[in-house]
Structure 1
Amino acid sequence: MSSPRTIADLEELKALVGQQIGTTDWIEVTQEQVDLFADATGDHQWIHVDVERAKEGPFGGTIAHGFLTLSMLPSFGAQLFSIGFGAARLNYGLGTVRFTNPVPVGSRIRATATFEEVNDLPKGTQVLTRYVVEIEGVERPAVVAQQITLITG
């Protein structure tokens, strides 16, 4: 993967609205990641952590938590771009989020990002970024989400 694109100023950011910024590298989702996420969140549903039982389940094995996949958005974004202006970049929330396909443990995922909107607010600049997380070899994406970031200062 090449270095992330540095977006120098607000004008450059606004000019990128509607354009796909890029595609991240593939990363493997491991059982260790899933287990650590289960420990961190207290979500130990068998479909995620019980390897033997999950073999007989609807997906033939364990799957990642949807929120684990969603939590990877900041990492995906950091692979693709950095904002080179403003004092801070704050996670302001999420717009729409859809978990459209389970992510089997052992599969590889990657994401694309597109800036959808850039809005000037009294608090700073609000950026809406659409991420599509795909699973290698699978047509339908795993997650489609809109992340909202506030750039201050």
Structure 2
Amino acid sequence: MTLTTVHMDDLGDLVGRDLGPSSWIEVDQARIDAFAGATEDHQWIHTDPVRAGAGPFGTTIAHGFLTLALVAPFLEALLKVEGAGMGVNYGLDRVRFPASVPAGSRVRARIAVVAVDEVAAGVRQARLEITVEVEGGDRPVCVAVLLCRFYAPAGDGA
């Protein structure tokens, strides 16, 4: 895994570059249960190993939104933007979960820098396509287009 470091004014230089892969993150049953508790989504396919064992996946699977939430540590591990007073998640343009994440598996991500635009003085918006894969899988488990905004520090034209 390689961390790419760039100044926010030079984010545009990354367009067309792929960053990653990240390190693997284990998605064990304890993580799935903690996510279920935090979101109050206790559907049996995620939290009941016995019932899920007889279900369509043969085991419990991670919530799609848990997989999506792991984008935050993947992004932090792959891209560091210097010269910004702060960075925020501005939103998502598209999210798909083409395959499931079985409990006990590991996932990692790649990031493609699709576009970088100046949206206001001192504000850069990066459009990033995040592809999350499960170890040993043949299809991605999450593909999302993430919009991140980076703001110049106060007093620097923000």
Aligned to 2:116: 118
Structure-2-length-normalised TM-score: 0.92
1:110 Cα offset (Å): 0.5
Question: Do residues 93 (structure 1) and 77 (structure 2) align?
Answer: no
Aligned to 2:69: 71
1:9 Cα offset (Å): 3.9
Counterpart residue identity of residue 127, structure 2: L
Counterpart residue identity of residue 62, structure 2: A
Question: Do residues 105 (structure 1) and 103 (structure 2) align?
Answer: yes
Show structure 2 runs of 5+ residues with no match.
153-158
1:22 Cα offset (Å): 1.7
Structure-1-length-normalised TM-score: 0.95
Aligned alpha-carbon RMSD (Å): 1.1
Aligned partners of 1:28 and 1:126: how far apart in 2? 30
1:8 Cα offset (Å): 2.3
1:152 Cα offset (Å): 1.0
1:23 partner SS: coil
Cα deviation digits, residues 76-115 of structure 1 (max 9, x gap):
0111110002211011011110011010001111100011
* Moved beyond 4 Å, runs of 4+: none
Aligned partners of 2:100 and 2:119: how far apart in 1? 36
Aligned to 2:35: 37
Counterpart residue identity of residue 94, structure 2: T
